[in-house]
A and B are shown apart, each in its own frame.
Chain A
């Protein structure tokens, strides 16, 4: 791949999705973009770069951006955050929102739906406590094809076997050929929307709980900071942010601070500190 082409394409990706690619990832660029080139009847990577340089159309640019996203996900990924949701966050919100009985949860990198559906299953399992509550779960992602997969809710054997407890599989999935389809009950708890975290999202409203997991890792520091600051504006003072295992706010932004004793959970720096038990 010509160095100038790599530079062009990696700049484009950085601009459109925040993805930062170092030159040692040129092979990744090539292997993921060749199918895009083929789809647009462009014979080579060089020709693809030339097209982007001269007269790119929106579909081509979008296809390039989407092809470069990593959509790896799994049900109850890392399990701990979902235990924390059930054991720490829900009880806290049940109390704090008891009067209004409203809870809004945002999955800011929903990918193929495993994360929002894991959240939905947890809430469904707590249905008795949440009777009469209005709960919104919004799943957003940059990539349209991956959101289509999420909406479809059809998973392979390999995907359900990773992380999904057998009891929940039996309860909330139906077998379809050699795949598994999530039940309508769970599916209808989640609304999906295409959203680029790099663009303004003020119209999404406020969220009590934000899952933004395993997406910031692809961004550089200034982009991480910008996205985290924008997210902080969508949260009430007692809202909670959950990041992925390799992500943190420390050294990135001072809008959030780690929640004491709760790894991976962050609260707004403006939130009143919880009284420590004596």
Chain B
């Protein structure tokens, strides 16, 4: 079973994401900010990360930079999940090592399509 770490400060979004991902047969874990997520990755590197952009304590982009610098941190596919639909942020995310992005609000079809696009399903 593939693993996915859902990183978002909103419990509601984490729950929605978890439901979608579990329907897609992912084994899900959650983190409410970038720092907790980095720890989780240190303990067990997931196959995929669904990552929020704006979070307290540590933002998505800082987590991403931290992750990509970790041993084995190049492996997980990272899908950035954002309401910032501007080009500047997307380019920044790509530069930091994001594989894809999803704009909120998302649904099952979008997550499924994006994960398929990067070879996760």
Contacts and interface: CB of A to CB of B under 8 A. Distances in A.
Given A174-B87, A175-B86, A175-B87, A163 B103 contact: no
B90 A157 contact: no
Contact of A166 (B86, B90, B113): B90
A200 interface: no
Contacts of A161: 102-103, 110, 114
Contact of A163 (B90, B101, B102, B113): B113
A167 interface: yes
B90 A170 contact: yes
A167 B99 CA distance: 9
B110 A157 contact: no
A96 B102 CA distance: 40
A167 B87 contact: no
B110 A162 contact: yes
A189 to B, nearest CB: 22
A166 B94 contact: yes
B10 interface: no
Interface string B110-121: 100110110000
A157 B85 contact: yes
Nearest to B99: A166
Contacts of B99: 166
A161 B103 CA distance: 7
In terms of DSSP, what is the predominant structure of the interface of chain A?
Answer: mixed
A241 B104 CA distance: 37
B87 A178 contact: no
B90 A162 contact: no
B70 interface: no
A170 B100 CA distance: 11
A191 interface: no
Interface in B70-121: 85-87, 90-91, 94, 98-103, 110, 113-114, 116-117
Contacts of B90: 166, 169-170
Interface string A138-177: 0000000000000000000100011101110110011100
A81 to B, nearest CB: 15
A167 B94 contact: yes
B103 A157 contact: yes
Contacts of A157: 85, 103
A79 B86 CA distance: 25
Contacts of A175: 85-87
A178 B101 contact: no
Contacts of A79: 116-117
21 contacts: A157-B85, A157-B103, A161-B102, A161-B103, A161-B114, A162-B110, A162-B113, A163-B113, A163-B117, A165-B117, A166-B94, A166-B98, A166-B101, A167-B94, A170-B91, A170-B94, A173-B87, A174-B87, A175-B85, A175-B86, A178-B85
Interface of B: 85-87, 90-91, 94, 98-103, 110, 113-114, 116-117
Given A165-B100, A166-B101, A175-B85, 17 more contacts: A157-B103, A161-B102, A161-B103, A161-B110, A162-B113, A163-B113, A163-B117, A165-B117, A166-B98, A166-B99, A166-B100, A167-B94, A169-B90, A170-B94, A173-B87, A175-B87, A178-B85
Per CB-CB distance, the 9 closest pairs between chain A and chain B, nearest first, are A175-B87, A166-B100, A157-B103, A157-B85, A166-B101, A161-B103, A170-B91, A175-B86, A170-B90
